[in-house]
């Protein structure tokens, strides 16, 4: 077990209820006949329906004693591509992709726990960007897949999550896994999440200078947190290129053809100038990012750092913003070397550099901790969303 994870949920001390009367918010109910020394195991299944893929997170929790807190024992993670939005004209196939992932849940969760294990799917930018009727058809199909499964299906189990919650719940995940939610110093880390369709920034601000629509409040572990958080829809790594840069890309089930300089040479400076046009003035620059705060960066930040050789994919690592800039210049000016890795690596690295510097306003010396996992658990909003389901964080 991970030592910081013993402080899981202050009020969740019993297994999940039988789903005879599904509640809106899932609260495990006590069993009067439970002996004090019974070890209890319960599970939660969270689907992340992203713009480029659908991922399943299966969490196993252990409770050794009803008077103690549960422990997050482990997570099983699996992903399939493409994302649900790619099936916008064939929702049945979208439902089938979720059905395949549910088979993994059935193999992972013991059969006697199926009826009390909640299954939840939250969709992000890929479905936010679809026409409402297309998105609803996909959600309806997923609900039907859930209903035919042997798992507990809560009310509102299949939804499109708003960008603000996406940032807050990712912040909860990372600060929980790193132990920062329990330190007496109240120090926390910020998070940067770069997906295919949107990008999020979330941190605990020291001042109250941010616009009100950039602030979210929630309750956790007897504390009320007030976070700076914002999601920029359309500023994800893939979506940003669709009208501007890539030669041919399939995103959200649509193939885009984009022209450029055939076998031309542009280099870092010209790329940076083009990216500036879709970043500058659009992204709010919070005062705190110019300080010494530590930020965890994941998703495409991590993936592109690995592909460009900035970090080791098995370990992650700490780099400065200037390291992204330096490597972006190298990739763009040595495309014959990097083209085999990815023909878009120059543009991706330039976009990340520009987003960090010109968009959010980070200094060259700001430290970014790049991580795909912390304590063997995925750095995503999924664990935070599982907490929200068990505890209702009342994000507002």
Contacts of 255 (CB under 8 A, 6+ apart): 248, 249
Asked whether 360 and 289 are in contact (CB, 8 A), the reply is yes
- CA torsion angle for 375, 76, 148, 151 (degrees, to 10)? -60
**Does residue 61 sit in helix, strand or coil?**
strand
196 annotated to bind ligand: yes
200 annotated to bind ligand: yes
| Active-site residue identified among 166, 288, 358, 378 | 166
Helix axes 267-279 and 321-333, enclosed angle (nearest 10)? 130
What is the Cα–Cα distance from 121 to 97, expressed in whole angstroms?
A: 13
Rg (CA), the chain: 21
What is the Cα–Cα distance from 151 to 113, expressed in whole angstroms?
A: 8
Among residues 51, 41, 50, which one has the least CA distance to residue 15?
41
Residue 74's CB is within 10 A of a number of other CB atoms, namely 16
Both tokens assigned to 356: 């960090």
DSSP-derived pairing of the beta strands 158-160 and 119-123: parallel
Helix axes 300-307 and 345-354, enclosed angle (nearest 10)? 130
Q: How far is CA 307 from the centre of its chain?
A: 20
Bridge partners (DSSP) of residue 257 are 248
179 annotated to bind ligand: no
197 annotated to bind ligand: yes
What is the Cα–Cα distance from 156 to 97, expressed in whole angstroms?
A: 20
From residue 247, give the alpha-carbon distance in Å to each of 235, 250, 262, 345.
18, 10, 10, 13
Half-sphere exposure of 197 (CA within 13 A, CB side): 25
**Does residue 87 sit in helix, strand or coil?**
helix
369 annotated to bind ligand: no
Residue 289 has phi, psi (to 5 degrees) of -70, -15
Q: Has 132 been annotated as catalytic?
A: no
Among residues 2, 15, 141, 6, which one has the least CA distance to residue 66?
15
Which residues are identified as catalytic?
A: 166
Binding residues: 196-200
Binding residues for ATP: 196-200
């Amino acid at each position: 077990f991970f030592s910081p994870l013993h402080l899981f949920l202050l009020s969740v001390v019993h297994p999940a209820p039988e789903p005879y009367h599904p509640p809106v918010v899932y609260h495990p109910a006590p069993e009067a006949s439970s002996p004090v020394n019974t070890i209890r195991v319960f599970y939660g299944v969270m689907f992340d329906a992203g713009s480029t893929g659908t991922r399943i997170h299966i969490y196993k929790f252990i409770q050794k004693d009803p008077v103690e807190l549960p422990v997050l024992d482990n997570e099983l993670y699996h992903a399939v591509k493409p994302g649900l939005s790619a099936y916008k004209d064939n929702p049945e196939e979208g439902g089938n992709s979720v059905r395949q992932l549910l088979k993994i849940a059935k193999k992972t969760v013991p059969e006697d726990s199926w009826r009390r294990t909640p299954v939840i799917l939250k969709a992000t930018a890929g479905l936010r960007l679809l026409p409402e009727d297309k998105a609803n058809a996909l959600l309806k199909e997923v609900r039907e897949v859930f209903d035919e499964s042997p798992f507990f299906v809560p009310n509102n189990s299949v939804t499109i999550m708003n960008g603000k919650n996406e940032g807050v719940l990712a912040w909860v995940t990372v600060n929980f896994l790193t132990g920062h939610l329990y330190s007496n110093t109240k120090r926390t880390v910020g998070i940067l999440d770069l997906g295919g369709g949107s990008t999020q920034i979330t941190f605990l601000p020291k001042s109250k200078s941010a616009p009100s629509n950039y602030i979210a409040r929630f309750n956790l572990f007897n504390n009320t947190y007030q976070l700076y958080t914002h999601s920029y829809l359309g500023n994800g790594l893939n979506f940003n290129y669709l009208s501007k840069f890539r030669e041919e890309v399939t995103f959200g089930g649509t193939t885009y053809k984009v022209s450029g300089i055939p076998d031309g040479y542009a280099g870092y400076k010209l790329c940076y100038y083009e990216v500036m046009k879709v970043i500058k003035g659009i992204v709010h620059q919070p005062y705190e990012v110019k300080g010494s705060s530590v930020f965890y960066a994941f998703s495409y930040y991590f993936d592109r750092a690995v592909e460009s050789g900035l970090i080791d994919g098995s370990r992650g690592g700490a780099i400065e913003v200037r390291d992204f800039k330096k490597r972006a210049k190298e990739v763009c000016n040595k495309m014959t070397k990097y083209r085999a890795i990815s023909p878009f690596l120059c543009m991706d690295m330039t976009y990340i550099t520009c987003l960090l510097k010109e968009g959010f306003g980070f200094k060259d010396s700001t430290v970014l901790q790049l991580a795909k996992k912390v304590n063997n658990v995925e750095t995503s909003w999924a664990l935070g969303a599982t907490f929200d389901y068990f505890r209702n964080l009342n994000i507002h």
